[in-house]
């Protein structure tokens, strides 16, 4: 069996003793061993000293061309990558596309952002501002790439999109990357790293790949470095509290747990396209990637009068999906296993926690026997729908407001249809990546924007008019912000040019009006 290693200091590292074995989560068949690297200080320095200057010597436009090149080379390997995602990550082909095509989509989107930033190596953020009415002194803000390394630590659920989505933004900003995927699903990320290395598109030192655990990586971070982490809140807290991170005030971006909620508006009626969209989205969000999406819906707010119809419609859809759950390589299977034995154990424990405040109305967490699966094998869980009472829904300490079950699991929360109750329930999640409102009531949606947005990274608003062309809320587009306050980690990634902020230093340049005009050029400093 092959052993996956790291690509550091411009070379694939020799394999040492295996630190983990990767398995197919549908069959438990071993796929590869992973060997971890040590002494990572040299890799951090190499990225800073070799990759950083090489990237900073290029304009935004030239860096954007690197991203286009990467997108094309990954596309050339698309079928192989989709197959690998299915075998190593428990993904259906649709799930695999979501991850792999999503990765190429971010590269293409940031290549387009680059075109708008042009030939200069910095971003001029604003017009020169006069400091005093009678003075010629002006202040103007400029953003330049940080002179450090971007340390990317990713979660297990998106080995392709997670790694490439972060790398695309850092590379365009002009920062070299060291990318560490989650170990359990790193086979796909490792293959992508091989393709990137073999393509020789990026300058030397711009991209390094770390297989296995993070080891001593964080001991070497310094004041110009950036850490972008995606994973559990517990690991996020460890990273934030790491001694070197604290001592050097390292910039850290955390994407962590999120109890995303959707709000079915008080005016929603059965028989409308909007109602059907809400039901379809709920089923997609519960079952896509077997519910292992940071943006998946965990709480479904339903006006009390609509509860029975919604329970019935979602329940029917989930029952259909449960009957086609199994090995994703088997024809007709629409939902695969969870990614690891640990995920399955955590999910079952999480469901037990939710049952303290809600009742299961669809699905059996102990079910065995799935499509194309040998008896007792694989990490399968059929979709589970729970329901709480209206009183429990408003209790901020209820388990469904605190426990993220990273699996095909969500809870129906009846509410009285008022924006006050909806906002109280959303707030109880203490900060989420995304919420969605389904309503044609303009007053309700306007109030939702005002009351819900401060608790969210993204708010999706669907009405009858756009129901035909809407995307399910778990789709993260590179043009929109990804990240949320509080429990969601208080991070911000993607969001078009906003995403570059994480990797750049904004500096106020202060000087005489004509001098600023000469130095910074693009905008007139004499005004
Ligand atoms: P995790 O266990 O926290 O692991 C995340 C990453 O951190 C992995 O690469 C892991 O490496 C690494 N890691 C673990 N301990 C570390 C340490 N002490 N120092 C440095 N790195 C360390 O999370 P997960 O199980 O992969 O992911 C599931 C969680 O991610 C869920 O809670 C989900 O909500 C969250 N998530 C959030 C988003 C978002 O965008 N907000 C997206 C996806 C997932 P090893 O694998 O080698 O241990």
- In this prediction, residues 53-79 reach a mean pLDDT of 97
Determine the pLDDT at residue 138. Answer: 95
- In this prediction, residues 174-203 reach a mean pLDDT of 98
Q: In this structure, are 41 and 127 located in the same domain?
A: yes
pLDDT in tens, 353-412: 999 999 999 999 999 999 999 989 999 999 999 999 999 999 999 999 999 999 999 999
Determine the pLDDT at residue 158. Answer: 97
Q: Has residue 127 been placed in a domain?
A: yes
Q: In this structure, are 498 and 448 located in the same domain?
A: no
Q: Has residue 394 been placed in a domain?
A: yes
Determine the pLDDT at residue 527. Answer: 38
Q: What CATH number corresponds to the domain at position 197? A: 3.40.605.10
Q: In this structure, are 115 and 99 located in the same domain?
A: yes
HSE-up of residue 110 (Cα within 13 Å, Cβ side): 32
Residues whose beta carbon lies within 6 Å of some atom of ligand 1? 153-157, 180, 182-184, 213-214, 230-232, 235, 238-239, 255-258, 294, 404, 406, 433, 488-489
Q: Has residue 419 been placed in a domain?
A: yes
Is 23's pLDDT higher than 90?
yes
- What dihedral do alpha carbons 340, 345, 348, 350 form, nearest 10°? -100
Enclosing H/E stretch for 504 = strand 504-512
pLDDT in tens, 278-312: 999 999 999 999 999 999 999 999 999 999 999 99
DSSP 149-175: -EEEE--SS-HHHHHHHHHHHHHHHT-
DSSP letter assigned to residue 502: G
Q: Give residue for tokens 């095509």.
A: 101
> Can you tell me the distance from the alpha carbon of 306 to that of 74, in angstroms, rounded to the nearest whole number?
46
C-alpha dist (Å) from residue 48 to 40, 272, 416, 450: 13, 56, 56, 43
C-alpha dist (Å) from residue 270 to 264, 274, 277, 475: 11, 9, 11, 25
Q: In this structure, are 126 and 248 located in the same domain?
A: yes
Q: Has residue 527 been placed in a domain?
A: no
Catalytic residue among 91, 186, 285, 294: 294
> Strand order of the sheet with strand 3-4?
3-4, 30-34, 20-23
294 is catalytic: yes
Q: In this structure, are 63 and 92 located in the same domain?
A: yes
> Can you tell me the distance from the alpha carbon of 53 to that of 261, in angstroms, rounded to the nearest whole number?
44
* Residue 490 region by backbone torsions, left for phi larger than 0, else alpha for psi between -120 and 50, else beta: left
Nearest to 202 by CA among 55, 71, 101, 13: 55
User: Which atom of ligand 1 is closest in space to residue 484's alpha carbon?
Assistant: 41
Is 523's pLDDT higher than 80?
no
Q: Has residue 486 been placed in a domain?
A: no
DSSP 398-467: SGGGT----SSEEEEEEE-S-HHHHHHHHHHT-SEEEEEEE---HHHHHHHHHHHGGGEEEEEEE-GGGG
Determine the pLDDT at residue 522. Answer: 57
pLDDT in tens, 419-452: 999 999 999 999 999 999 999 999 999 999 999 9
Kindly give the distance from the C-alpha atom of residue 100 to the centroid of ligand 1, in angstroms, as a whole number.
Answer: 19
- In this prediction, residues 319-327 reach a mean pLDDT of 96
Catalytic residue among 186, 255, 285, 404: 255
Kindly give the distance from the C-alpha atom of residue 223 to the centroid of ligand 1, in angstroms, as a whole number.
Answer: 23
pLDDT bucket at 38, cuts 50 / 70 / 90: confident
For the record, the structure tokens of 356 come out as 């303290």
Determine the pLDDT at residue 118. Answer: 80
HSE-up of residue 319 (Cα within 13 Å, Cβ side): 8
Percent of the chain clearing pLDDT 90 (strictly above): 94
In the chain, % helix, strand, coil (3-state, to 5) comes to 45, 20, 35
Q: Has residue 241 been placed in a domain?
A: yes
Q: Which of helix, strand or coil describes residue 241?
A: coil
Torsion sign across C-alpha atoms 426, 429, 435, 438: negative
Q: What CATH number corresponds to the domain at position 283? A: 3.40.309.10
Q: In this structure, are 291 and 433 located in the same domain?
A: yes
Residue 507 lies in domain: 3-255+491-520
pLDDT in tens, 210-265: 999 999 999 999 999 999 999 999 999 999 999 999 999 999 999 999 999 999 99
Q: In this structure, are 397 and 504 located in the same domain?
A: no
Percent of the chain clearing pLDDT 70 (strictly above): 99
Is 520's pLDDT higher than 90?
no
Q: In this structure, are 277 and 173 located in the same domain?
A: no
User: Which atom of ligand 1 is closest in space to residue 153's alpha carbon?
Assistant: 9
Q: Has residue 95 been placed in a domain?
A: yes
C-alpha dist (Å) from residue 201 to 101, 256, 295: 20, 32, 32
The preferred substitution site among 182, 220, 431, 488 for testing ligand 1, maximizing ligand atoms within 8 Å of CB, is 182
Kindly give the distance from the C-alpha atom of residue 129 to the centroid of ligand 1, in angstroms, as a whole number.
Answer: 43
Report the chain's mean pLDDT, rounded to a whole number: 96
Kindly give the distance from the C-alpha atom of residue 233 to the centroid of ligand 1, in angstroms, as a whole number.
Answer: 8
Kindly give the distance from the C-alpha atom of residue 511 to the centroid of ligand 1, in angstroms, as a whole number.
Answer: 45
- In this prediction, residues 458-482 reach a mean pLDDT of 95
User: Which atom of ligand 1 is closest in space to residue 433's alpha carbon?
Assistant: 41
Q: Closest residue (by CA) to atom 46 of ligand 1? A: 182
Q: Closest residue (by CA) to atom 32 of ligand 1? A: 232
Q: In this structure, are 139 and 169 located in the same domain?
A: yes
Burial 384-413 (b: 16+ CB within 10 A, else e): bbbbbeeebbbbeebbbbbbbbbbbbbbbb
Kindly give the distance from the C-alpha atom of residue 155 to the centroid of ligand 1, in angstroms, as a whole number.
Answer: 4
Beta bridge partners of 152: 179, 228
Q: Closest residue (by CA) to atom 34 of ligand 1? A: 257
The preferred substitution site among 163, 183, 231, 502 for testing ligand 1, maximizing ligand atoms within 8 Å of CB, is 231
The number of folded domains in the chain is 2
Kindly give the distance from the C-alpha atom of residue 229 to the centroid of ligand 1, in angstroms, as a whole number.
Answer: 7
Q: Has residue 215 been placed in a domain?
A: yes
Determine the pLDDT at residue 274. Answer: 98
Determine the pLDDT at residue 333. Answer: 96
Strand stretches in 196-288, DSSP E: 207-209, 226-230, 251-255, 260-264
Q: In this structure, are 250 and 270 located in the same domain?
A: no
User: Which atom of ligand 1 is closest in space to residue 155's alpha carbon?
Assistant: 26
Q: In this structure, are 377 and 232 located in the same domain?
A: no
Q: Give residue for tokens 């990317």.
A: 152
Q: In this structure, are 373 and 508 located in the same domain?
A: no
pTM of the model as a whole: 0.95
65 is catalytic: no
């Amino acid at each position: 069996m092959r052993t996956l290693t790291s690509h550091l200091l411009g070379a694939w590292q020799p394999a040492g003793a295996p630190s983990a074995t990767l398995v197919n989560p549908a069959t438990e068949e071993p796929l590869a061993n992973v060997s971890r690297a040590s002494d990572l200080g040299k890799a951090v320095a190499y990225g800073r000293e070799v990759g950083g200057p090489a990237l900073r010597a290029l304009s935004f436009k030239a860096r954007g061309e690197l991203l286009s090149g990467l997108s094309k080379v990954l596309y050339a390997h698309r079928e192989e990558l989709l197959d690998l995602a299915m075998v190593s990550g428990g993904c259906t082909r649709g799930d695999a596309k979501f991850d792999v095509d999503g990765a190429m989509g971010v590269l293409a989107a940031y290549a387009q952002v680059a075109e708008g930033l042009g030939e200069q190596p910095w971003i001029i953020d604003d017009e020169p501002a006069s400091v005093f009415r009678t003075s010629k002194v002006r202040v103007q803000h400029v953003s330049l790439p940080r002179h450090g390394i971007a340390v990317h630590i990713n979660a297990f659920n998106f080995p392709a999109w997670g790694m490439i989505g972060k790398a695309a933004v850092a590379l365009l900003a002009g920062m070299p990357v060291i990318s560490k995927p989650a170990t359990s699903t790193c086979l796909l990320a490792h293959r992508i790293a091989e393709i990137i290395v073999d393509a020789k598109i990026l300058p030397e030192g711009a991209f390094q790949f770390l297989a296995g655990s993070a080891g001593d990586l964080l001991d070497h971070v310094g004041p110009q470095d950036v850490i972008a982490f995606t994973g559990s809140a517990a690991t996020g807290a460890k990273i934030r509290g790491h001694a070197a991170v604290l001592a050097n005030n390292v910039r850290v971006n955390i994407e962590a747990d999120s109890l995303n909620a959707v709000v079915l508006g008080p005016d929603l009626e059965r028989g409308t396209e909007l109602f059907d969209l809400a039901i379809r989205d709920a089923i997609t969000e519960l079952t896509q990637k077997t519910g292992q999406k940071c943006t998946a819906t965990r709480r479904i707010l339903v006006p009390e009068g609509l509860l029975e119809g919604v329970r019935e419609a979602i329940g029917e859809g989930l029952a259909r999906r449960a009957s086609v759950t199994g090995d994703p390589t088997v024809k007709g299977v629409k939902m695969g296993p969870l990614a690891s034995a640990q995920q399955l154990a955590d999910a079952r424990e999480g469901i037990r926690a939710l049952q303290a405040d809600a009742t299961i109305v669809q699905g059996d967490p102990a079910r065995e026997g799935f499509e194309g699966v040998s008896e007792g094998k694989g990490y399968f869980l059929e979709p589970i729908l729970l329901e709480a009472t209206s009183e429990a829904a408003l209790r901020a300490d209820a388990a469904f407001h605190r426990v993220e079950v990273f699996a095909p699991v969500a809870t129906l929360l009846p509410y009285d249809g008022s924006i006050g109750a909806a906002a109280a329930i959303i707030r109880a999640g203490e900060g989420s990546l995304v919420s969605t409102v389904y309503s044609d009531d303009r007053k309700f949606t306007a109030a939702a924007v005002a009351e819900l947005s401060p608790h969210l990274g993204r708010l999706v608003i669907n009405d009858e008019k756009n129901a035909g062309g809407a995307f399910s809320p778990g789709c993260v587009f590179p043009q929109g912000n990804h990240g949320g306050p509080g429990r969601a980690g208080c991070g911000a990634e993607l969001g078009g040019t906003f995403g570059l902020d994480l990797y750049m230093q904004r500096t106020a340049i202060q000087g005489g009006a004509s001098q600023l005009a000469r130095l910074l050029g693009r905008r007139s400093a004499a005004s």
